[in-house]
Each structure stands twice: as C-alpha cells, then as structure tokens.
Amino acid sequence: MARESLVDVVVAALLERIADGRTPPGELLPPEAELAEENEVSRLTLREALKVLQTQGVVEVERGRGTRVLPAAQWTSIRAVAHVHDRSGGADAPLHLLQLRRMVETGAAELAAAHRTEADLADLARHLDAMRAAHERGDVAAFVAADIAFHDVVLHASGNPFVAVLLGPLSAVLRARRHETSRHEPVQAHAIAEHAGVLDALRSGDPAASRAAMESHMDQTLRDLQHYVLS
C-alpha cells in the first residue's frame, strides 16, 4: 500500500479511536509506540498521520506530555468532523448532514437554473436514466452512484466553485448514508420522482421553481430517513 494511502488509513483509525470514546477530546493519545503497534505501521507512518491531524486542529503536541485530542469545536477539517460525528452522533448525525445538504443544495439549484448549460441538462438526464435502470435491476450501488452524480452536476452547474468544494469532504459519509436509505425500494422510487422534478425545474430556467423542487426533494429525503432508518 502506498505511504499516502496508509497514512490516510491511520488517520481514519485515530479518528475512530476518538469517536468510540477510547480517547475522547481533552485526553492524551497513547504513546506513539503503542499506537504504531496497534495500527501495524511504522512510527514514521504514525507520525505522518498525527501531523495530518495536527494540521486539521484535531490534536496538539504537548512537549514532554504527549499528543492531546482537542475539542471538536476547534477542528478545521470538515472530513474529520463528519467522520467522528457520523460514528458517535447517533440519530442526530444523519439529520445534521441533511440540514447541511438542504442549506447548500437548495441554493445551488436556484443558482443552477440561471447558469446551467445544455450539457449540464444532458448529464442530469443521463444520471436520472441511470437511476431508473439501476432501480429496475435492483442495483443499489449503481443507484447511489447515479444519485450522487446527479447532485454533483447541480452543484457544479451553480457556477459557484465553493459550493462543490464545501460538500466534497463529506462525500464518503454522504455515500454511506445514501446506501443506508436506498436499500429500500420505495425510497428509490421517491428519489427518482423528486430528481425528475428538479430536472424539469432546471430545464425551465426558473430559479424559484428550481429551489422549490430541491426543497421538495430534501423534504422527501427527510421523511424517508425518519420512516425507514430512524424509526
């Protein structure tokens, strides 16, 4: 395994240690030698992983004492916050993620109505067709991939480069959540209908209608989440 990917694996493992309470915020991580043995990596690789977490504000090195986990409010990495919150946030985690999606994606849809190109509309139609095809053959992974691709087009079509960058670090968590809900056939049917509504609104070029269509989609997603996952 390449060093960079191995470092990423160790970073994820250390975040998991924080999330499951073995080393909560405010506490010192175990010594480097112990962590290196626990993760079956060299101390060099472990130090690189700790350096990543340090740059993200997750930990700080206290000379003569060790490495302390900082309060989550001080973390600067969206990916780190999402990883730990997703593991330890209980029912609130998916709801918080959906709240973020609603805030970002409804605005993105409104902007996309004015900035989308014919190529964007063609891509959206293609991804919607892929969702329908995956639904017909019961392929959840393909359905989720097409679902996420559809939303990515909307984000990029907004014309604001910061929009896609904001949700990018959450992609792994969002994908896992989509798999969790999309295992249910009615959820897929609802999603197809809502995506079709978003596409129709974007085709019309009406910003208010596009925002309303995405709001409708987020409302349906919340109902499905509460009924099929959180109930």
Query: Are both 155 and 53 inside the same structural domain?
Result: no
CB 69 within 8 A of CB 27: yes
215 lies in a domain? yes
Query: Are both 123 and 220 inside the same structural domain?
Result: yes
85 lies in a domain? no
CB 31 within 8 A of CB 68: no
CB 58 within 8 A of CB 70: yes
Query: Are both 161 and 212 inside the same structural domain?
Result: yes
Query: Are both 163 and 220 inside the same structural domain?
Result: yes
Backbone angles phi, psi at 28, to 5 degrees: -85, 140
Q: Is 69 helix (H, G, I), strand (E, B) or coil?
A: strand
What is the residue-level pLDDT of the chain in tens, covering all 231 positions?
Answer: 555 589 999 999 999 999 899 999 999 999 999 999 999 999 999 999 999 999 999 999 999 999 999 998 899 887 788 778 767 655 677 888 899 999 999 999 999 999 999 999 999 999 999 999 999 999 999 999 999 999 999 999 999 999 988 887 777 777 878 888 999 999 999 999 999 999 999 999 999 999 999 999 999 999 999 999 887
Candidates 159, 151, 158; CA nearest to 123 is: 151
Query: Are both 57 and 103 inside the same structural domain?
Result: no
User: What was the pLDDT predicted at 88?
Assistant: 64
Query: Cα Rg for the chain, rounded, in angstroms?
Result: 20
Number of domain units in the chain: 2
Structure tokens at 141: 């992974």
Residue 174 CA to residue 90 CA, distance in Å, equals 15
pLDDT in tens, 162-199: 998 888 777 777 787 888 899 999 999 999 999 999 99
User: What was the pLDDT predicted at 4?
Assistant: 57
Give me the residues paired with residue 62 across strands: 66
Query: Are both 32 and 101 inside the same structural domain?
Result: no
User: What was the pLDDT predicted at 136?
Assistant: 98
84 lies in a domain? no
CATH value at residue 204: 1.20.120.530
Which H or E element spans position 66?
A: strand 66-69
Q: Which of 48, 78, 108 is the endpoint of a domain?
A: 78
pTM confidence score: 0.79
201 lies in a domain? yes
Q: Tell me the longest C-alpha to C-alpha distance in the chain.
A: 64
Query: Are both 181 and 95 inside the same structural domain?
Result: yes
- By residue range, what is the domain housing residue 9? 3-78
Query: Are both 94 and 158 inside the same structural domain?
Result: yes
Query: Are both 110 and 54 inside the same structural domain?
Result: no
